[in-house]
Structure 1
Amino acid sequence: MKRLIGIFVLLITSITTAQTFDTLKDKENLTKQEGFFDFWYSQKEDKIYLQVSQLNQEFIYVHSLTSGLGSNDIGLDRGQLGGTAIVKFQRAGNKLLLVQPNQDYRANTNNELERRSVEQAFAKSVLFGFEIKDESENAFLIDFTPFLMQDAHGVSKRLKQQKQGTYELDLSKSALAMQRTKAFPKNTEFEALLTFSGDAGGRNIRSVAPDASNLSVTQHHSFVQLPDDGYQKREFDTRSGANFISYQDYATPIFEPLTKRYIKRHRLEKKNPEAKVSEAKDPIIYYLDPGTPEPVRSALLEGARWWNQAFEAIGYKNAFQVRVLPADADPMDLRYNMIQWVHRSTRGWSYGASVTDPRTGEILKGHVSLGSLRIRQDFMIAQALMNRPFATSDDNYKPMLDMALARIRQLSAHEVGHTLGFAHNFAASTNANASVMDYPHPNLKLEDNQIDFSEAYDTSIGEWDKVTVAYSYGDSRADQTEKDYLNSVLKQAQDDGLQFISDADARPQGGAHAYAHLWDNGESASEELNRVLELRQVAISNFSEDNIKTGEAYSVLEDVFVPLYFFHRYQTEATVKLIGGLDYNFATKGSDLKIVEGISKSNQNKALTATLKTLDAETLAIPKRILDLFPPRAFGYSRSRESFKSNTGVSFDALGAAATASDMSLGLLLHPERTNRLIQQNSLDKSSIGLEEVLQELVKNSFSKRYSSNYLTQVQNTINFNVLKHVMNLSASDKSIPQVKALANETLSQLKDMYSTDDSAMASEIRYRIDQFMEDPEEFEVIQSPTIPDGSPIGSFRCHGFARD
């Protein structure tokens, strides 16, 4: 809430001064705080008495978590924002009701009766009812404590949803938290320490709580004055890359859209609107958590500050600033845009959330949460890929640290971008990494058979990021309308070849866009996969015990090998999406953008050829010299969710690793929605690749392969069995259309015929599985491969919902 940033003198007075309310006169040890809402605190009662001076006056209410549980899986983090609501106090008899009007359905008109008809047509929400304790001169006194001592953030509900146990709020172990309960002229902040008691039902909660039967967190509540009417709403355009609010305006003429969409953005105005370059009236200032350690602190500051490059490009000088939060400031105070460094027990997503005025889309507070363990994943990736980094010294950590810090700079810029109002752009990697709002995979190179880490991540804002800033924050000239200005920004982006494609289209399973992916690189996904596989092979050939420090258990070496072995996983996702993929834009009439078209057969065939390499025994077989470095897990080094899984007890499962990797590729290639698209596309254009061709190539490159090495033969048998499983999955899936099921069943018949004269044990098992499936496909139960270790986020998410990474 940039316009409010500043240090206010906190007025704390004793109750011995003259009182407005008779109810408070006999109470001892009261302290008063004056601000947006005045309140009194009774230490003896542990109660807060709130003065309500204005009825029916709307303001903003936000709840959040000051302290969290520390589990990424549970998802209750330190600094997590809750919902943003417009609320007001209304009197009803002897009560004051805290009412949330319905902002989703409105009538923006001067006709009071028309507005009232919409208000009465849709439900509002009464958040709480307070008995009026006293009143004087149109001011009311209420006991505010019960409101603060409720589970507004939904902690117990979240724990139940995550199957972590059944908990109830224990008021006997809860109390108001007064250190950060303060009143300021335009906002009043409250906190309470809440304890939830119950029976722990999940491993995640037991892993992070000292006593899983009693969980204590601090919940924060903000009452904030609404901003003035000076903010100008800006219309949303699907091409812009901006996030948006939406609502139904029933005062809209019938010939215009009922749904109104406006982008989310901070308020920003030039001091001198006539100047080509001007300082801002109120710059956008972000504050970094002072608890962030070096060298991470400097990296986060630098990465977040990249955004000023984009603001400079639209004529603003020092309009975007990043500082370390002053020691006396509260990160939960809505006046401060925050970048918080959040600790969890496991690696997980970071995210950028915002407090936004639901009426207009104005961002009042940006709040970034960055998981502290994620930098260690990039460090480990570098450690695995580097050639014997600890061969001569255990202090040679700087090359790995440099790559990890390069990633954290980009992560800082990415999450701040969400809080500036920007969506993911997963097509940016095909445009020379044009946006920090993509998910970046380390961009490594092979030089003289050595891996070069010098350009692993970008070092500045991208060209697309300048487009989104120009659309959301740029100013039109005096001789043009805002609409003309916005269209000119998007037209220039189109002329520059920049493309914007966001979340659902880029996902590896259901996403259909051929050029929008997560964690990929390169203009050509298939060419990049070939390059990644080559780089992976070089790194594996160099991998040795010198990839860990002296004195570390060999079980650590096994875990370091995980990100190297699966280094190709995300580029495989990108490549597979070309098969049955589509190239399209979020086009609008008159924009001249490509609407939608299929992918050429030659490009799909290149993608299929590259994908099949990830199902090759020679690609997936871990060399014996490396297997000799992986003994059963050492005492004190149990497997984690990020370790290789094993079907061989305590020993390392080499075939299981190949099963996991091939299962990943096959799950992508033979996803029902993809195969359904292949049927449709081939029916419209016979020259395009079809599912029958894909299945034939898959069988030829799996079941038809033979090796002289028994180890490679067993790895290939493992892959073949996964192929059989996924073809059966395709036939049995409720999502597969009948044409897909027919081709899957035909492939199974062909496989049975292929092994009809083979008397080997594997051939006999294949025939048995096929016969069993054909006899009763509805009873088919998938044979699971070992679960793939966590990979995403790679050294960084989730973002998600509020835009996580």
Structure 2
Amino acid sequence: MKSPLFKGLWLLLLVLSSSMAMAQKLPSIASKTEGMKRYPGYFTFYYDDASGKIWLEIDKLNQEFLYVNSLPAGLGSNDIGLDRGQLGSTKVVYFNRQGPKVMLVQPNLAYRATSNNPNERRAVEESFAQSILWGFKAEAAEGNKVLVDATDFLLRDAHDVVGSIKRSRQGNYKLDASRSALYLPRTKNFPKNTEFEATLTFTGGEDAGRYVREVAPDVNALTLRQHHSFIQLPDSNFQPRQMDPRAGYFGISYFDYSTPVDENIDKRFIARHRLQKKNPTAKVSEAVKPIIYYVDNGAPEPIRSALVEGARWWNQAYEAAGYKNAFQVEVLPDTADPMDVRYNIIQWVHRSTRGWSYGATVVDPRTGEIVKGHVSLGSLRVRQDYMIAEGLLAPYEDGKPASKEMMEMALARIRQLSAHEVGHTLGIMHNYAASSNENASVMDYPHPMVKLNRAGNIDLSKAYETGIGAWDKVAIMYGYQDFPKGTNEQKALNEILQQGAKEGLLFISDRDARAAGGAHPVAHLWDNGLNAAEELANVLRIREKALKNFSEENIKPGAAMSTLEDVLVPIYNFHRYQTEAASKLVGGLNYTYATRGDKQVVTEPVSKSDQQKALDGMLRTISSEVLTLPEDIIKLIPPRAPGLGNNRELFAKRTGLTFDPLAAAEASADFSLSLLLHPERASRLVELNARHSSLGLQDVTEQLIDKTWKARREKGLQEVVQMQTEQLVLTHLLQLAHNENTSYQARAIATAALQQIKDYANRKRNEGSSSPYQAHLAFALDRLNRPVTEEIKPSRSLDLPPGAPIGSGEVIGCE
């Protein structure tokens, strides 16, 4: 009888002999790749022209590297996404050989143990799932090297084009292998990165949506290109920097299970480029290796120069942090590939409609080091700004040259936009409080600053700021300051933020600014001024002046008169974002991202007087005076000329082909009311009034009814606009009263306001004879008397045409 030890040795020999036999069966890499074109580099690969295959030589088994997929040739639809240059997520991966198979493994870095104890690390690794992204078959071997066929891996839909189209409800497509192939012009190799590219065709199209039909030459075949990058991991000399909620940085986070029980297990570090001073002890020093960005050479002039100039503003911030020429911007050489990880890129992206620009990054998930910054700028943005300027200036007077102010304003916006998106790729978040700090950051969303000069004419000379703001310098100092040895880094970083707070600089980011029911009095998108209510009054004056001047001179000679509507839309809605800003003062709460002991404001209600000013401005935006377009404008706009057609940039209509001034007024009034009577704002008004005797929801509803239902009756079109707005007030109060997400007392006050309208309508109905106003009252009473199930489903109001992004906006990291 054989002993257990003998059995174990016999099994081990059997396994080893099987492995050796398998290895012996594999041909050598040299013989397998004979006649193929060899691409030496980080991962050497071979191209077989006869079969159209790529063979990958893996000489770094079980060594981690970065893997990124991207989209060098996109779909062209802002609504679906899938833009030229779009980056996928950054993954840490490694190749692992298991017998005849080679697996591409993604470890789970969201859960780690940074302990030196291998057993402690293994316990965490085995507690959470890993992901095997692909399985290859070993086809040849030499020593520690193995050769695999990588073709199917490279020709798959790694960027999930199919999913993106399906999620946007634009059709069901599938990858067609017969119309897909490797794209050799962008398949390259370098010492620290290996780049592959493939042309992929997606077929289907029977149910293709409008967005696909807008951009595809044939909806049955969508051909794009996808890119794969294998990137050597950065060395271990990068020092991660801890995240502070006051600093305004993106970053990485993970759970570290080796953390002592009395410390926070959730570790957070900011995302930043590697930047070191040659002499950290010097007040000003050159960088060991500067950060260099490259502007797309496909951007036309004068836009290309504007992109370069705007991006270079960031060097001002690095100079404030003690660097010399540490941030540089050049035009991309013709020989460079924009998807090559070695290049930080500012790319000029074309789409069928205007849309957001954004800054993406390749970030080392282990440390937060930014390996590559990639900015995508929508090319139609500059044209939208130009059109806004046309609407404001009415510049096409017969016999006179058009004003240069329009192009100057559009280029000023492009400079600012370039700086903004580059800021994201430096690791920095939006700062929507900057406009209240004298435009202290390019990371805010700027509305054009328009003024009336002494002669009462519109002045665009300072529509957009130039240069980096004070907050941007604080942010760069926090993220990139290189401290001398022996410095207490955490103390020094805290002092940077404390000093910024002492100077009155405030950082408030996305969640607090984007919420429709938001409460922060200075955190807004596309606003201006120190006080939102005061600036709303100024914006309404600008709007009034522009509408007074509006004429056929707002379009070029020879242009179809129906295109006046295109120019009118942003002018009629010129106040929309300042209205949104003012609404946040009503039921507003001032606060900061304070930390214990930093002496910043934690919470502080907006004063009752400031809330009242904001309410006054909001109520003005729904007045018939503001909402009603003048007759001399209405009669200038005919139905759309042949070939132009309707599009999303125009006013919605209830009148068919003809221009509908009532629909424009409806959408604008509905927008203001949706902000003012937002369920969260209504609930907050009740709560803050109870605690501080500030403006209450009852104050708001009473003034709202006084300014609409109980206001003096207008005549003509203004009367119809007035009655339309009153029905909208009724709609929003009905929705508020029956919204179960609203507090009980807010619903009670809304119900009381409805009863007030009902009593008033009944009284007025008994006073008059048949008239449009009497019909209006009867309709309102009918709505008020309907069963609850019908009350909470009123007719849907019209939406405003899209406004953001101004200059043709995040998501976090975007505009």
* TM-score interval for Structure 1 and Structure 2 normalised by the shorter chain: over 0.9
Return the match for 2:214 from 207, 219, 225: 207
- Aligned counterpart, 2:204: 198
The answer on whether the counterparts of 1:344 and 1:371 sit within 8 Å (CA) in structure 2 is yes
Instruction: Please say if 1:554 is aligned against 2:540.
Output: no
- Aligned counterpart, 1:777: 788
- Aligned counterpart, 2:804: 792
- Aligned counterpart, 2:4: none
Q: Structure 1 625/764 Cα, relative in aligned 2: closer, same or farther at 3 Å? A: closer
Report the alpha carbon displacement of residue 82 of structure 1 after superposing the two structures with TM. 0.2
Return the match for 2:378 from 343, 364, 371: 371
Name the SS of the counterpart of 1:291 in structure 2: coil
Q: Structure 1 777/761 Cα, relative in aligned 2: closer, same or farther at 3 Å? A: farther
Q: Measure, in 1, the Cα distance between the counterparts of 2:718 and 2:563.
A: 26
Give a deviation string over 1:399-443, Cα, whole Å, max 9, x none.
211100000100000000000000000000000000000000001
Return the match for 1:804 from 807, 811, 814: 814
Q: Measure, in 2, the Cα distance between the counterparts of 1:775 and 1:567.
A: 37
Report the alpha carbon displacement of residue 765 of structure 1 after superposing the two structures with TM. 4.5
Q: Structure 1 498/31 Cα, relative in aligned 2: closer, same or farther at 3 Å? A: same
Report the alpha carbon displacement of residue 477 of structure 1 after superposing the two structures with TM. 4.5
The answer on whether the counterparts of 1:188 and 1:224 sit within 8 Å (CA) in structure 2 is yes
Which shifted more, 720-729 or 334-343? 720-729
Name the SS of the counterpart of 1:589 in structure 2: coil
The answer on whether the counterparts of 1:268 and 1:284 sit within 8 Å (CA) in structure 2 is yes
- Equivalent residue runs for 1:111-510 within 5 Å: 111-199=117-205, 200-386=207-393, 388-393=394-399, 395-396=401-402, 398-447=404-453, 448-478=455-485, 480-510=487-517
**Structure 1 runs, 4 residues or longer, greater than 6 Å off:** none
- Aligned counterpart, 2:570: 563
Q: Measure, in 2, the Cα distance between the counterparts of 1:509 and 1:339.
A: 32
The answer on whether the counterparts of 2:70 and 2:227 sit within 8 Å (CA) in structure 1 is yes
The answer on whether the counterparts of 2:169 and 2:209 sit within 8 Å (CA) in structure 1 is yes
Q: Measure, in 2, the Cα distance between the counterparts of 1:37 and 1:493.
A: 47
Q: Measure, in 1, the Cα distance between the counterparts of 2:429 and 2:789.
A: 42
Name the SS of the counterpart of 2:178 in structure 1: helix
The answer on whether the counterparts of 1:578 and 1:603 sit within 8 Å (CA) in structure 2 is yes
Report the alpha carbon displacement of residue 773 of structure 1 after superposing the two structures with TM. 4.8
The answer on whether the counterparts of 1:444 and 1:455 sit within 8 Å (CA) in structure 2 is yes
Instruction: Please say if 1:646 is aligned against 2:653.
Output: yes
Q: Percent identity over the alignment?
A: 54
Report the alpha carbon displacement of residue 744 of structure 1 after superposing the two structures with TM. 1.4
Q: Could you say which structure has the larger radius of gyration?
A: 2
Return the match for 2:666 from 656, 659, 663: 659
TM-score, structure 1 length as denominator? Answer: 0.95
Q: Structure 1 636/26 Cα, relative in aligned 2: closer, same or farther at 3 Å? A: same
Name the SS of the counterpart of 1:642 in structure 2: coil
Q: Measure, in 2, the Cα distance between the counterparts of 1:477 and 1:66.
A: 41
Q: Measure, in 2, the Cα distance between the counterparts of 1:659 and 1:772.
A: 18
Aligned residues: 782
Report the alpha carbon displacement of residue 511 of structure 1 after superposing the two structures with TM. 2.3
Name the SS of the counterpart of 1:83 in structure 2: strand
- Aligned counterpart, 1:752: 758
- Aligned counterpart, 2:73: 67
Letter in 2 for 1:306: W
Give a deviation string over 1:245-289, Cα, whole Å, max 9, x none.
110000000100000000100000011222211111100000010
- Aligned counterpart, 2:19: none
Which shifted more, 107-116 or 727-736? 727-736
Q: Measure, in 2, the Cα distance between the counterparts of 1:763 and 1:119.
A: 74
Letter in 2 for 1:776: P
Give a deviation string over 1:55-76, Cα, whole Å, max 9, x none.
1100000000011000000011
Which shifted more, 753-762 or 221-230? 753-762
Q: Structure 1 253/633 Cα, relative in aligned 2: closer, same or farther at 3 Å? A: same
Unaligned 5+ residue runs, structure 1?
Answer: 1-19
Report the alpha carbon displacement of residue 224 of structure 1 after superposing the two structures with TM. 0.4
The answer on whether the counterparts of 1:241 and 1:424 sit within 8 Å (CA) in structure 2 is yes
Report the alpha carbon displacement of residue 160 of structure 1 after superposing the two structures with TM. 0.6
Name the SS of the counterpart of 2:666 in structure 1: helix
Name the SS of the counterpart of 2:273 in structure 1: coil
Unaligned 5+ residue runs, structure 2?
Answer: 1-25
The answer on whether the counterparts of 1:633 and 1:639 sit within 8 Å (CA) in structure 2 is yes
- Aligned counterpart, 1:731: 737
The answer on whether the counterparts of 1:280 and 1:317 sit within 8 Å (CA) in structure 2 is yes
The answer on whether the counterparts of 2:723 and 2:776 sit within 8 Å (CA) in structure 1 is no
Give a deviation string over 1:762-783, Cα, whole Å, max 9, x none.
4445454455455422233221
Q: Structure 1 237/391 Cα, relative in aligned 2: closer, same or farther at 3 Å? A: same
Q: Measure, in 1, the Cα distance between the counterparts of 2:309 and 2:399.
A: 30
Letter in 1 for 2:705: V
Report the alpha carbon displacement of residue 734 of structure 1 after superposing the two structures with TM. 3.1
Aligned CA-pair RMSD: 1.4
Report the alpha carbon displacement of residue 458 of structure 1 after superposing the two structures with TM. 0.5
Q: Measure, in 1, the Cα distance between the counterparts of 2:567 and 2:339.
A: 37
Return the match for 2:85 from 79, 88, 92: 79
Report the alpha carbon displacement of residue 29 of structure 1 after superposing the two structures with TM. 4.7
The answer on whether the counterparts of 1:21 and 1:141 sit within 8 Å (CA) in structure 2 is no
Give a deviation string over 1:1-57, Cα, whole Å, max 9, x none.
xxxxxxxxxxxxxxxxxxx95366366751000000000000110100001112110
The answer on whether the counterparts of 1:647 and 1:786 sit within 8 Å (CA) in structure 2 is no
The answer on whether the counterparts of 1:430 and 1:523 sit within 8 Å (CA) in structure 2 is yes
Give a deviation string over 1:288-336, Cα, whole Å, max 9, x none.
1000000100000000000000001111110000000111110000010
